[in-house]
Structure 1
């Protein structure tokens, strides 16, 4: 993977991670078109640069993260379903992530939902999120374990379904992304990049950890640092755009875009293009 390819993927990650359009589908197409989808570093890179996207939320909303303890209680409550369901269905989720067909179909299906979601929840106008709301949003987020659903779309719609307005639901989705993506990215970093077991970290198996760290090349570190920096900058811009656009225009345009992207994926598969990641 070249530096320019890393920058392109990082821009795509920053643009798509917090929009309801599925970053997974975009990464699949971009890496395949650049011919790097089968490189070992590609999968590690696309997971790792999520740290940059996570940091953008903390920087943009740093005041919210200094709020009362209640804020963190609600985040924890919303985070628990992802931990529980993700742990139980870990192997099943990993298997689905290998299916580009599932990703494409869910992009189309989710796009159709977005075409009507503003009408379905037209009366959603409440700003305050209760503990029950937080937990239900966390449950809705788990649907995004199916590739192509979009974590952002699932959690925002989960909030609107309970009467939360679009802006408040979107912002809570951003906050929830911090522990959720941090946990998922850290796990993948440990297992895929360092080739360690979680038990090695918990038992502080220093010789094995040190050996794994020594296997990371300087080129890999350079790509990861560049990718995280670019994803951080782009994600901040994308979040600001999304909140403004969503408040004014709703989800319909994102729905049409998802349907077009899903159909493109299916067309590429029908033409025999290798889209494996």
Structure 2
């Protein structure tokens, strides 16, 4: 692996880590970054999904104490058992729909107009959710992830299904969906982090196994470099976001999404980015 390729892997890893857990869609940013630095092709597509493992590890490290508690109490502590069941329930809807319709989604929705529309519509949903959160302070009845019921988890899982549409953002769908369903901003954000572990892990394993015939051992250093960059940037992003939500809302991200949606349309119109590739 030459130095230029290593630098491209680092850039892509940083983009993945800094955008995966923010409500701004990592997919759109990875496509833009990959096009700008000429990092495209079949291996690049698998790379973009595989380096999510670095982001997953960052969340697991940040919440290592809670994960350890869950593992210890899995067979004896009802609270931890309930937490795991909620994660499974929330994971299943998107997993099922993704397995059934992933090909159709890639064929019909991975185009500039649907992606831009998802960015912009998602932005207005965020603005509406934040306005509702402020004008109806009693709308959030769940303060922590441990207060969630199985139905609450299922609702968040259904919200995550919208993230199958490119440009929607998995984090945005689960966090804002959680807030609309009664979770506090902190509870919705933390549950989104935890839900990312099985969701991104499943997507990574599925993608790598599916593309195994196109990959070679010589690609391993590239994936490791990108994964490490994703881990570091995701860890910093998660830490920052947890501090950010203690005193800020997501309105700024909504306006950013609108601008980015316009960027998609402009770059696609002039052929600067191959948003279909």
Q: What TM-score do you get using the length of structure 1 for normalisation?
A: 0.88
Consecutive aligned runs of 4 or more in structure 1 exceeding 3 Å deviation:
none
User: Between Structure 1 and Structure 2, how many residues are aligned?
Assistant: 256
Question: How many angstroms apart in 2 are the aligned matches of 1:113 and 1:3?
Answer: 38
Which residue number corresponds to residue 94 of structure 2? 82
The match for 2:77 is none
Q: How big is the shift at 1:105? A: 1.7
Distance 2:64 2:170 in 1: 22
Q: Mark the CA change 1:145 to 1:71 in structure 2 (over 3 Å): closer, same or farther.
A: same
1:118 aligns with 2:137: no
Rounded Cα–Cα distance in structure 2 between residues aligned with 1:77 and 1:71: 10
Q: CA deviation at 1:137?
A: 0.3
SS at match of 1:2: helix
Quote the residue 1:163 is aligned against.
182
Q: Distance in 1 between matches of 2:60 and 2:39?
A: 31
**1:94 CA displacement:** 2.7
Which residue in 2 is equivalent to 1:20? Answer: 23
1:174-213 paired onto structure 2 within 5 Å = 174-192=193-211, 194-195=212-213
Q: Relative to structure 1, is the Cα distance of residues 88 and 40 closer, same or farther in structure 2, using a 3 angstrom cutoff?
A: closer
1:262 corresponding residue in structure 2: 261
Q: In 1, distance between residues paired with 2:185 and 2:39? A: 37
1:203-242 to 2 correspondence within 5 Å? Answer: 216-218=216-218, 220-242=219-241
- Checking the alignment, whether the CA contact within 8 Å between 1:116 and 1:252 is kept in structure 2 is no
Match of 2:13 in 1: 10
Whether 1:31 and 2:34 are equivalent positions in the alignment is: yes
Aligned to 2:252: 253
d(CA) in 1 for partners of 2:208, 2:130: 37
Decide whether the 8 Å contact of 1:96 with 1:146 is kept in 2.
no
Could you tell me how far apart the structure 2 residues matched to 1:141 and 1:130 are? 17
SS of 2:247's equivalent in the other structure is: helix
CA distances 1:140-163 after superposition (whole Å, capped 9, x unpaired):
000100000000011111211121
Distance 1:243 1:103 in 2: 27
Instruction: Give 1:70's match in structure 2, choosing from 70, 82, 98.
Output: 82
Q: Using the alignment, how far apart are the partners of 1:269 and 1:162 within structure 2?
A: 35
Task: List gaps (5 residues or longer) in structure 2.
Answer: 71-79
- Please point out which of 86, 94, 105 is paired with 2:117: 105
Q: Deviations over 1:99-121 (max 9, x none)?
A: 23321221122122222321112
| Contact 1:121 1:163 (C-alpha < 8 Å) held by counterparts | no
Whole-Å separation in 1 of the counterparts to 2:186 and 2:156: 14
List gaps (5 residues or longer) in structure 1: 196-211
Residue in 2 aligned with 1:46? Answer: 48
When the two chains are superposed, the root-mean-square deviation of aligned CA atoms in Å is: 1.6
